């Protein structure tokens, strides 16, 4: 089984230095494109590979690049930004790549910047990733010294500067236009679209924002071709994928596997199955802002197309497991607390609706719920859904709630009828004062 993204990452071992990375083929893709491939050819190759964005949306990467104006009349400078914010609860895949092989990211960013004729690039990283930041800074210094970054790279005439920017820690910065506002030193509010960043992004110039895992795929596609990349997958969605599992499995972790690996294989073979004494109840397949899947979905392939057909989203591909001894109401309340706290407050439905949802779930968890509370929650899942808010934060927050109400509604009703959380040791209801 080929694992191009993680083949040189060894837990507990320092990442490859520049010289070590070059010995295993590092930066060959940069030499190849600068010598043999015009930017249009790079775009077409990546488009043909069917590489879909690994940050959650799953949009075709080469197609996204094609919206950037090219040619001598295009606005300059152009920017490339690596989204390394990774604040989606339950998600830690990009951290593996950042800490384990930073030169792979830098190489991928050079390829992407060349493809869109960008001369300035940024790595926008979550503030808490201290180890990753240290390794990226070290790798950037090595890449500059070796001539892979800076003016006239390898004598090609192509120049690229690359900078590390650590954010201050807001979930909203994972949304690409809010990220660009934060990078400009502004409040991290999302922007209205159009114009899209590909035309008017950072400082009003053409900009591409790609996820870390997406960018790390690029050197391997350049070196091995589109058909090779598509052949790594088990399904119609190309490549390998970094899958993660958190929750009460015996071996939580992160693995690079063929795209389309089933949920059952991930949990039972790679995750070691459920811990002794716990049964599987459900899971969020791609981080906190995805819909629950349950036992009937265990054999669904983990790819963008199949997960969507099952009623959820692939998202980041890092699943959170719900077991039979964890309260679904408390589980969802914890997520809604996070989303309410992280709302930028820009639009009314999100600013007012998410705290209201959290307050109702807290009342249910305390045994203070009323039957009409479920109707209010149902209302919010519709009116905080797609098309009713300025960005996707609130609709994403509604996905675990709406699916929990669908699959675990009886558990919500028990909180109301029994006046306490059935999973709590405290069985006596005390009315609120």
Could you tell me which residues come within 8 angstroms of residue 345 by beta carbon, excluding any fewer than 6 positions away?
351
Note the pLDDT of residue 168.
85
Note the pLDDT of residue 1.
82
Q: How far apart are the first and last CA of the chain?
A: 61
| Pick from 57, 89, 82: nearest CA to 315 | 57
Can you list the domains of the chain with their CATH numbers?
Answer: 18-231 (3.40.50.11540), 240-323 (3.10.20.600), 328-418 (1.20.1440.230)
- Vertex 376, ends 374 and 380: CA angle to 5°? 115
Rounded to the nearest 10°, the torsion over CA 339, 344, 349, 355 is 40
Note the pLDDT of residue 163.
98
The alpha carbon of residue 120 and the mean position of all alpha carbons in its chain are separated, in whole angstroms, by: 23
Note the pLDDT of residue 426.
44
Residue pair 273/292 in contact (Cβ under 8 Å)? The answer is no
Burial of 387: CB neighbours in 10 Å, binned 0-12, 13-18, 19+: exposed
Digit-by-digit pLDDT tens for the chain (433 residues) are: 899 999 999 998 999 999 999 999 999 999 999 999 999 999 999 999 999 999 888 899 999 999 999 999 999 999 999 999 999 999 999 999 999 999 999 999 999 999 999 999 999 999 999 999 999 999 999 999 999 999 999 999 999 999 999 988 889 998 999 999 999 999 999 999 999 999 999 999 999 999 999 999 999 999 999 999 999 999 999 999 999 999 999 999 999 999 999 999 999 999 999 999 999 999 999 999 999 999 999 999 999 999 999 999 999 999 999 999 999 999 999 999 999 999 999 999 999 999 999 999 999 999 999 999 999 999 999 999 999 999 999 999 999 999 999 999 999 999 999 999 999 864 434 444 3
Note the pLDDT of residue 432.
42
């Amino acid at each position: 089984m080929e694992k191009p993204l993680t083949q040189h990452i060894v837990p507990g071992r320092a990442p490859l230095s520049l010289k070590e990375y070059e010995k295993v083929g590092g930066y060959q893709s940069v030499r190849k494109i600068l010598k043999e491939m015009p930017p249009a050819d790079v775009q077409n190759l990546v488009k043909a590979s069917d590489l879909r964005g690994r940050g959650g949306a799953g949009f075709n990467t080469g197609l996204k690049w094609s919206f950037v104006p090219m040619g001598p009349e295009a606005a300059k400078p152009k920017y490339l930004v690596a989204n390394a914010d990774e604040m989606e609860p339950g998600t830690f895949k990009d951290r593996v790549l950042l800490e384990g092989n930073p030169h792979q990211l830098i190489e991928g960013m050079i390829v992407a910047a060349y493809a869109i004729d960008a001369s300035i690039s940024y790595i926008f990283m979550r503030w808490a990733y201290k180890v990753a930041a240290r390794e990226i800074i070290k790798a950037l210094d090595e890449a500059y010294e070796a001539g892979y970054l800076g003016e006239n790279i390898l004598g090609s005439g192509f120049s690229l500067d690359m900078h590390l920017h650590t954010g201050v820690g807001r979930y909203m910065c994972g949304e690409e236009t809010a990220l660009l506002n934060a990078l400009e030193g502004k409040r991290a509010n999302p922007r209205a679209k159009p114009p899209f960043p590909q035309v008017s992004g950072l400082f009003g110039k053409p900009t591409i924002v790609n996820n870390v895992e997406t960018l790390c795929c690029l050197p391997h596609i350049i070196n091995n071709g589109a058909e090779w990349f598509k052949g790594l997958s088990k399904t119609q969605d190309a490549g390998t994928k970094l899958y993660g599992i958190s929750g009460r499995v015996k071996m939580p972790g992160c693995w690079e596997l063929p795209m389309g690996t089933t949920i059952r294989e991930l949990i039972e073979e790679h995750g070691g199955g459920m811990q002794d004494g716990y049964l599987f109840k459900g899971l969020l397949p791609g981080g906190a802002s995805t819909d629950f899947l349950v036992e009937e979905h265990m054999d669904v392939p983990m790819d963008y197309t199949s997960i969507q057909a099952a009623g959820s989203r692939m998202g980041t591909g890092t699943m959170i497991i719900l077991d039979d001894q964890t309260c679904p109401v408390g589980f969802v309340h914890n997520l809604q607390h996070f989303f309410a706290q992280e709302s930028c407050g820009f639009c009314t439905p999100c600013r007012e609706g998410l705290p209201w949802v959290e307050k109702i779930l807290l009342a249910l968890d305390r045994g203070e719920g009323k039957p009409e509370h479920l109707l209010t929650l149902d209302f919010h899942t519709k009116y905080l859904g797609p098309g009713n808010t300025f960005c996707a934060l609130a609709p994403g927050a509604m996905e675990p709630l709406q699916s929990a109400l669908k699959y675990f509604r009886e558990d919500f009703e028990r909180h109301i009828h029994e006046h306490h959380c059935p999973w709590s040791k405290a069985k006596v209801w005390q009315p609120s004062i």
